Chain A
Amino acid sequence: MNRREFMQCATLIVTGASASQLGFALSEEQSQYLASAPNYIHTAVSYFNAEQRAIVTAIADVIIPRDETPGAVDAGVPRYIELMVSDWFSDDERAIFDAGLKDLQTRVPLELGRPFVELEKDQQEQILEKLESAAGDSSWYEFGNVLRAFISDAPFICQIKELTVWGFFTSEVGATQVLRHDPMPMEFDGDYPLSPDDSTWSGGLTA
């Protein structure tokens, strides 16, 4: 985190910005009562082909699987990733993502004899772990390097992990069924009991 980012981080923290306050582009018509707008993941998009979509879905499922609670796929995260790659990434970021997907599409069948999506879950995880250890030097992994728009040269594995985690915990399913959601608390209690298994509140850093 450089000096300016550090300061911005402080401003965000001190002033209590939430995930949903960091910005997004919306037309005047769309922004007529955001609370009653359709969920973002219901926005139309068709960027990936069927094979690519299946790989992205499998990766999201490895990063945040369903266990006792819903996982990334239940929460519509693959759709979120497709929208972000299509509509939000810069050309350079999209090129990194496309190349990363292409690599999995071509390399995995050659090395393992089967396409990525047909591998066992633990084999898929091993592939992602290898990608992660190869990307280990990226500034993406630096402690505290989280309050910024995006790291434009982040490797594919970092891109897809950021989109998966972000998309999941800000999704309706992730925020309400995995985190705890209470949009209208009506009071503030500064000493509220926390059990070891309790989740955080949804809705960002302090709001």
Chain B
Amino acid sequence: MREAIQYDFDAVVVGSGITGGWAAKELTEKGLKVLVLERGRDLQHGKGYRGEHAPDWKVPYHGKKPREFYEEEYPMANRVYAFSEATRQYWLNEKQNPYVVDKQDPFMWIRGNTVGGRSLLWGRQVYRWSEMDFRANERDGHGIPWPVGYDDIAPWYSHVEKFIGVNGKAEGLPQLPDGEFQKPMPWMALERTIQRRLQKKAPDITLTNARVAVLTEDLPGRSACHYCGPCHRGCSTGSYFSSQASTLPAARATGNMTLKSNTLVERLQYDAETGRIASIHVVDTETRERQSFSARMFFLCASTVASTQILMQSTSEQFPQGLANRSGALGHYLMDHTLGMSGMGLFYDDMDSYYYGNRPTGLYVPRFRNLEGEDENLDFLRGYNYQTATLRMDWQTSFNTKGFGADLKNSLRKPGPWLFALAGFTECLPRESNRMYLSKKLDRFGLPQVAFDMRWSDNEVKLRQDAAQQATRILRAAGAVFTMGEENISPETMSLPGEGIHEMGTARMGNDPAQAVLNKWNQAHDVPNLFVTDGSFMTSASCVNPSLTYMAFTARACDYAATQLAAGQL
């Protein structure tokens, strides 16, 4: 009788980032005793945000990047826009924690290093998947069908949106379902001008508010945005959603959460007799002390690659190819979004209008290509969206101007013309050959270093090419006096796999246990008390930013798991 066993915890959650925080909140609020394990160091909300609100003149080199140091210690992370000395504390040191980087086809694996994980650093863009996204695999035959549809997830999207706080504007588009929105952030005058022109000259394009997990209205314990600008330095007012500001405090308030930082998971111990995971084995990253904890169930929320790494390390007689890997799909079907500027235009409209405050997002152009029933003759599958940026040129975009003296000073101190940029985010097809695996190299804890084998396919290239062509059309319709577009697009010039930091797949879900690692509840087909709810479960990628979907599936899986546990089914 399992009931008679004394467990250390009801549930162990691995990871304290965007999904780990959600699992901790949902499970503790249902009365379960939960242990949250985080490999990164401890960090206090607010107090730990050392770079917050630091003016430019306080920072060494006034923000110029110390190139050698960064190349040595953070060769991948330092390429991310959010990386700086004001945020460096949140990123994992890559020299101390290496993975195998293929020189020919590098994969950019970006990892967090604190309690809260990458939820402190994320781009905060949150979009619902549509029924079209959930049916994409089924429709074109790439990947396996999703075991769920939009209606299964919609209530969980609402559940998550209400708690995290999302500002946005309802548009009634079938390809981008509306959510529970706080009032949208205001637009710039030029953006209204562009929208007006597009309505006339490119009516197939919707320009709308980005949907962003930044508050425009107060929520309990969190304040509306104060528009200081660089969210990723940390926000002591909790104005953007992070597990630090939101889910972890909620979990802590129940009194049911134990959180251990500096704790790296080595393996899950499978018990062949019960057919379940019995315990989790960890190493303290500071003291190297090893420990194990038993629990009734285990949630992997360590992030896409890291959770699969744990499963791959957890081999046993029953699972020689990795825990819960009877399908052989584990590690495969790795995906990411390609990103980059598809086009940028120069505008001399609304020159007497400026802005006040730093809006922490641009606008958004929802997918408009390959919608069901349209664009039948395109030579690519799936689609893309654009995130936009609007800014005035200033000294930072023109300090390399010729001339000297008062004239130079005067021209550099004033705003120049407007720039409006369209950054395409394209969908990636699930392909078996795109994968992560464990190499023979070991890290400082004696654990295998992860290696990657991932390349963009023709479809991703064609999507980017189309995104660039369409961007030029849109910018011209918008009235740009000069446009510059992404050119000579090939896998070599595109963003690196992983650079989108939307890595997903590697433990995909599906109804068929012979093809999928997880069932429709994020539960391992092969091991009933194992759940994986970070991006690993993704069976296809859509083109929208994925975090909201991870959170919704996590909350849903927690609800299911707690119910099953109460019913004695786990």
Contact = CB atoms under 8 A, between A and B. Distances in A.
A10 B409 contact: no
Given A166-B64, A190-B186, A14 B388 contact: yes
B397 interface: yes
B65 interface: yes
A116 B391 CA distance: 40
B408 A24 contact: no
A186 B408 CA distance: 32
A127 B244 CA distance: 56
Interface in B151-198: 185-189, 191
A87 B69 CA distance: 12
A171 B63 CA distance: 11
B348 interface: no
Contact of B341 (A9, A145, A161, A187): A9
Contact of B353 (A26, A43, A166, A194): A194
Contacts of A34: 50-51, 54, 58-59, 85-86
A135 to B, nearest CB: 10
Interface residues of B, number: 94
Nearest to B191: A190
B396 A19 contact: yes
B143 interface: no
Contacts of B493: 3-4, 7
Nearest to A151: B400
Contacts of A71: 409
Contacts, number: 329
B81 A17 contact: yes
Instruction: Classify chain A's interface size.
Output: 35 or more
Contacts of A198: 354, 414-415
A97 interface: no
B234 to A, nearest CB: 11
B186 A188 contact: yes
B62 A80 contact: yes
Interface string B374-418: 000000000000011101101111111010111011001111000
Interface in B52-92: 52-70, 78-79, 81-89
Interface of A: 3-4, 6-26, 28, 30-35, 37-41, 43, 62-65, 67, 71, 80, 83-84, 87-88, 90, 125, 128-129, 132, 136, 140-142, 144-147, 149-150, 158, 161-162, 165-167, 169-172, 175, 178-179, 181-195, 197-207
| The 7 A-B residue pairs with the shortest CB-CB distance in the complex, in nearest-first order | A10-B341, A207-B229, A23-B65, A185-B357, A34-B54, A188-B357, A7-B340
22 contacts: A3-B493, A7-B493, A10-B389, A20-B56, A22-B63, A23-B66, A23-B70, A37-B59, A65-B405, A88-B61, A145-B400, A149-B67, A150-B64, A161-B399, A166-B62, A169-B396, A169-B413, A179-B413, A185-B357, A193-B352, A195-B352, A206-B391
Given A21-B233, A179-B413, A186-B227, 19 more contacts: A3-B493, A15-B82, A17-B81, A23-B65, A24-B64, A37-B59, A65-B405, A166-B64, A169-B396, A170-B57, A178-B413, A190-B355, A191-B355, A199-B413, A200-B413, A203-B55, A204-B396, A205-B397, A207-B230
